[in-house]
Amino acid sequence: MNLKAILIDDEKNNLINLEQLLKTYCAGVEVVDTALNATDGKQLLLQHRPDLLFLDIQMPGKSGFDLLKELPAQVCEVIFVTAYDQYAVQAVRFAAVDYLLKPVNIDELQAAVGRVWVRVRDKQKNLQLENLLQLLQAGKEEHRIAITTLRETRFIRTAEIVRCESSNNYTAIFLSDGEKLTSSRPIFEYEELLRDYGFFRCHQSHLVNRRFVKSWVKEDGGYLLLDNGHQVPVSRNKKELVITALKL
């Protein structure tokens, strides 16, 4: 069995390079067609019904995100290929969707294709892609972040996350219903993803959702008292940031 793939990118050299990388390093991936824009790409997708789409995000006219919104329910697996763009990369990372930065790294390409093989083989629905589409269309209150644990990938509304606590390269995530999840991602990644959603770093090991802060207790070295009774330390070098975040 081969994976039929379509490549969409507004730069012809990028298409040629990616096709060559797939041919050389990703056995079993067959590029059936390519397109230089989203409009032509949409027609190819509906015509070929591929297993896999490599999609550029930033293109003149319609973006890769615009294209996905126009398609019927998930037509194939998607791997984004993009130059660095803060909003675009944050969106796909928020949903834990596969993406590759240009210039494409061979190891990362092989890993992303490998994950597609697993989903296709096991006939798994790509919930991460569904979550990305919902994220692009929803307001901040409805944003769901993909949290990968050892057993599963959970999709949690950012408004339900009370705080995150670092534990080596793992992160404990405490939810408003009292549940605790352990993610395999380090806390600095969550800080980057959640800073626009009311979260701030009050300590090297702690990230807090502002909406759950009850008070800032300045005795005993200083700590934040949360609505659930948790006490989160405030480090000396984070005090100014806490003042700004809480608008004190």
Tens-digit pLDDT profile for residues 29-50: 999 999 999 999 999 999 999 9
Residue 42 belongs to some domain of the structure:
yes
Q: Using 50, 70 and 90 to split pLDDT, how confident is the model at 137?
A: low
* Preceding omega of 186 cis (within 30 degrees of 0): no
Q: Under 8 Å CB-to-CB from 203, ≥6 apart: which residues?
A: 232, 233, 234, 235, 238
Instruction: Decide if 144 is inside a domain.
Output: no
Q: 94: domain range? A: 3-136
Of the candidates 49, 56, 21, the one whose C-alpha atom is nearest the C-alpha of residue 35 is 56
Same domain, 167 and 89: no
User: Does residue 142 fall inside a structural domain?
Assistant: no
pLDDT over threshold 80, residue 191 = yes
Can you tell me which residue has the tokens 């009370």? 162
pTM metric for this prediction = 0.70
**% of the chain exceeding 90 in pLDDT:** 60
SS3 234: coil
Query: In the structure encoding, which two tokens stand for residue 209, read together?
Result: 């959702």
Q: Mind listing the pLDDT tens digit for each residue in 79-110? A: 999 987 766 777 787 777 888 999 999 999 99
Whether residue 160 sits in one domain with residue 106: no
201-226 pLDDT, tens digit each: 999 999 999 999 999 998 877 899 99
Average pLDDT, the chain: 89
165 and 127 housed in the same domain: no
229: pLDDT strictly greater than 80 = yes
pLDDT at 170: 93
Is residue 76 domain-shared with residue 121, that is, in the same domain?
A: yes
Domain shared by 100 and 166, yes or no: no
- For residue 118, the domain's CATH number is 3.40.50.2300
Do residues 46 and 22 touch, judged by C-beta distance below 8 A?
Answer: no
Number of domains in the chain: 2
Are residues 87 and 163 located together in one domain of the fold? no
* Short-list 78, 45, 55, 76, CA closest to 8: 55
- In terms of domains, do 86 and 182 share one? no
Q: How far apart are the first and last CA of the chain?
A: 61
SS in 3 state form for 84-127?
CCHHHHHHHHHCCCCEEECCCCHHHHHHHHHHHHHHHHHCCCCH
CB 54 within 8 A of CB 7: yes
Residue 14 confidence (pLDDT) above 60:
yes
Q: How much is the pLDDT for 210? A: 96
> Can you give the C-alpha Rg of the chain in angstroms?
21
Distance in angstroms (rounded) separating the CA atoms of residues 86 and 112: 20
Structural domain includes residue 143 = no
